Amino acid sequence: MRNIRLKLAYDGTDFVGWQEQANGLAIQSVVAAAIEKITLEEPVLMAAGRTDSGVHAVGQVAHFLTESCIPAERLGFGINALVPDSITILKADDVPLTFHSRYHAVRKRYRYVIDNARCPLPFLKRFSHHARNRLDVAAMQRAGLELVGTHDFRAFETQYPNRDSSVRTVLDLTVQRYCNWPISMSNGIDPGPPSEQGDWVGIDIVADGFLYNMVRCIAGTLLEVGRGKWTPDDVLRILNTRDRRIAGITAPPQGLFLVQVDYE
């Protein structure tokens, strides 16, 4: 028995998310079907994060067990030949049988991308959220720092009450402008140096785990700070109330990317 780890990138626009669902096509289903064609085995394919409908990835990690003797690199090439162009296996390798892509992840990094140009670029509308008026990125950064640390993020999830705790630890949160498109396929997080003159805004959140729609809820709240509606003190107040109704909107999914998953 072997354990194969996959690193994936995908355009989530036309999918209902990573996880198999009854209401549409899931990325998990498409990749698993390709693996089955190659190995003649029905895989149990698990991922580090269950990205939602319309959400993208450049650093998703998944794994599956197989009895196949096909080298991991060739498995990756074979999957790429069978899946649509919107999905790419960036790397495939053998890992210990004990490895689990979800349970062994120690932190994940998401980036929410905002096109802050006066007129949005039409060919990137699938991969960013447009905010027409110039955002106060410095204020958004100050407000984001209020969320760093271990907190109950109930005000920033859309599926409460849930079976688990709403407490998570945000290890880092940064908001910066970029002149270049802020997603790099080389490692997901290197768009070049920040620039105050840039029209792209990236909201980066690194945490030990995320609640349902947590990043999009935080992004929607920070957008209100950037527009001058709220202050950093308002964000702290919203966090402490634990009331989803008074936080910002759930920002649209097309701006969200899972860019990196870290393991010990």
Residue numbers annotated as active site = 52
Give the C-alpha separation, 56 to 12, whole Å.
5
What is the spatial distance between Cα 246 and Cα 229, in angstroms, rounded to a whole number?
13
Closest CA to 64 of 48, 45, 49, 50: 45
From residue 129, how far is each of 43, 115, 216 by CA, in Å? 35, 6, 11
In whole angstroms, give the CA distance from residue 259 to residue 117: 23
- Helix 214-226 to helix 232-241 angle (10° resolution) is 150
d(CA 21, CA 13): 15
Contacts 24+ apart (CB under 8 A), 24-28: 24/53, 27/51, 27/87, 28/62
Q: What share of the chain is helix, strand, coil (3-state, %, to 5)?
A: 25, 30, 40
Q: Indicate the Cα dihedral angle 130, 131, 137, 140, nearest 10°.
A: -100
User: Token pair of 26, please?
Assistant: 């899931």
